[in-house]
Every structure is written in structure tokens, then in C-alpha cells.
Amino acid sequence: MMPPSSPDSPVFWETLSRKGRIPFWELSFDCWDRFSQQSLILGHTFEALSDAKKLEALQRNADIVAAVCQDLPFSAITAPAGYWEQAPGLLAYYVLPGDWRFRQIEAFRSVLPADLMIVANASAILAADYDPDFCEMMFEEPERVDALVADRLSAELRHARACIEAGARAVVSCSDVADNNGPFFHPHQMERWIYPQLQQWSRAIHEMGAFAILHSDGNLDRYLDPIAHSGIDALQAIDPVAGMDLGRTLDRIGNRVCVCGNFDNGRLLLEEPDVIFEIARDLIERHKGRGWWCFGCSNAVQPEVPPENYAALVAAWRVAG
């Protein structure tokens, strides 16, 4: 397989796009159960099964996702991540334990259409950490952060390889380097810990034959250009809550990397379907053709989203995308 870094290989946006339409991908679509009469088996429920039942659950999960994808026009779907807590003591929804997440990718690949890209999570890039001890370490003992960064990159590249060998075609590092107030890291810290790691990570992912995506919440305006020059294929979020403007972002970097997301997740929970449709259609019509853009929400689509609200988002894409 030719690595995406080769000048003769396909661009991420062009690989996702079907018949010239704007691609459609969610960082994490946690509403599979809402669009199916069956429920995915994940997390601790999955963990409690015997190995034989776990294999059955993986295939059941794959069949559910494949059935939902017949109705929702995704260009790519993200596979479950490894265990992480969305709040202290509260396991995230879309996760599987240990190496089972790699086997879930294999099950997905066995039933999903060949042109439906599978994206895997291997978060190799250092992210914002507001723990006072970590913040102090960045200034007082930066060499310890150097070691943390190197260890994380090595571990997550091993995970990325396993995902790619299982059938993933892209890998996303979910690493918030900013928040609503702007960048978490100072410029010299970005130069030391973020840009070099992005370059090493994306180069390694390309050598494995896959695309490299960075997800970061927050306002990245200050660092958009060096991030776009790092070698990544796509940048996901373009966080509207943090003041990120899609048009301005596309104008700056939309001819170098694929810009993904920007629809405000909160609207899926707070607005009526007709309002969601109008907002989404307006967003698409104002920005289609402006650069490499993949439509979707700025973050994970929560399980609490009413299916009729997400259906309105899909309807807007079908009309204007």
C-alpha cells in the first residue's frame, strides 16, 4: 500500500469524497443504538462475557454498524477506543477493553463496504493537562515531560500499527492542545513537545500506509499554520464554541489539510429538527467548494442526541452536500 505521504498517493479528502460530494464523518458516533433496534455491546458489559461470547458480540456490533451505515451516509466511521473515563469513575460509552478493539476493527472490515473508511484512535500527541503537578513539571522539570512524550508516542504507535493491520485506513490522535480561551501550551512548548511529535507521528502513520488525523478542541487560530505544516492529513473539530471560524480556517489551511467538523454538537441537544436542518444547510452551502472540508460535528455525537435531530443534520447534507 502506498503511504499517503507519497506525492502519487491519494489525498485524504479525495479518498473520502464520493462522486464529488462533501465527505461526512464523525469523530465518534455514539448513537448507533438510537438508529438500530439492537444495542452495541461495549465496555464493562462486553468485558464480563466469555471469550466465545465476546467474539459473537464483536460480530453483532459490526452487523449493527453496517446496517445503520446503509441509512446514514458516512464516508468513514470511527472504531471504539480503548478504555478512558469521560468523568472520574465514569467509563466512556464507545470503548472496548484491551486488544478487543483491534478485533472489532477486523469484524467491521469483514462486513462494511470497501469504500467506507475505518478510523482508529491512537492518541499519541501530548494533550492539555490542568493538574497543578503537571503544569509545574512543564516549567520546573521539562526533561520529565520529554520522557513522557517519547513514551506515549512509542506506545500509541504500537496501538496504531495494530489498528492498521486490523483494517483501519486512518488514525486519529485525540489531543486537545487548546481550550475556549486559546492554546494551552506556550509557543516554546509547542516547538518542544507538539510540532516534533506531530511530524514523527504522521510520518510513522504514513509509513504504515494510513492517514494521520489530529483532533483538538479549543481555539487553534494561533497555531493553525504550523499544525498544517506538520504532515498531518486532517484536522478535526474546528471548535465553534471556542470561536473557530470554518471559512477563515479553510482559507488558511484548506488547501493543505482536510478540515473536519465545525457543526456545534450542543445544537443537536438543544434545537428542534427544523432549526438544525436550516443551520446545517446554511453551513454547508456557505463553505462547500471553499477547500478540503469533511462535514460533521465538532466532537463526539453523544448517546443522548434524539435520532430525529441527527436525522435533520443528515437531511441537510443530502440536500446541500
- Integer-rounded Cα radius of gyration of the chain: 19
Q: Which residues of 17-40 are buried (b: 16+ CB within 10 A; e: fewer)?
A: beeebbbbbbbbbbbbbbbeeeeb
Integer Cα distance of 272 and 142 in angstroms: 48
Nearest Cα to Cα of residue 191 among 227, 154, 244: 227
Integer Cα distance of 171 and 214 in angstroms: 9
Cα distance between the two ends of the chain: 30
Tens digit of pLDDT for each residue in 173-208?
A: 999 999 999 999 999 999 999 999 999 999 999 999
pLDDT at position 3 = 39
Amino acid occupying residue 247: G
Please provide residue 193's backbone torsions phi and psi, each rounded to the nearest 5 degrees.
-115, -25
User: Is 55 strand, coil or helix?
Assistant: helix
Q: In sequence order, what E strands does the chain have? A: 76-78, 85-87, 90-91, 117-121, 170-174, 178-179, 182-183, 211-215, 234-237, 258-261, 293-294
Q: For residue 267, give the C-alpha cell.
A: 445544537
Please provide residue 25's backbone torsions phi and psi, each rounded to the nearest 5 degrees.
-150, 140
Integer Cα distance of 17 and 292 in angstroms: 10
CATH 3.40.50.620 matches 12-320: no
CA dihedral 140, 137, 186, 148 (to 10 degrees): 130
Q: Which residues of 230-244 are buried (b: 16+ CB within 10 A; e: fewer)?
A: bbbbbbbbbbbebeb
Please provide residue 115's backbone torsions phi and psi, each rounded to the nearest 5 degrees.
-90, 5
Integer Cα distance of 163 and 122 in angstroms: 9
Residues of the chain with pLDDT under 50: 1-9
Beta-bridge partner residues of 171: 120, 212
Integer Cα distance of 236 and 259 in angstroms: 6
pLDDT at position 18 = 76
pLDDT at position 259 = 97
pLDDT at position 10 = 57
Nearest Cα to Cα of residue 81 among 104, 113, 50: 104
Long-range contacts of the stretch 165-168 (C-beta < 8 A, 24+):
165/102, 166/102, 166/103, 166/105, 166/106, 166/109, 166/120, 167/105, 167/106, 167/108, 167/109, 167/118, 168/79, 168/105, 168/118, 168/119, 168/120, 168/210
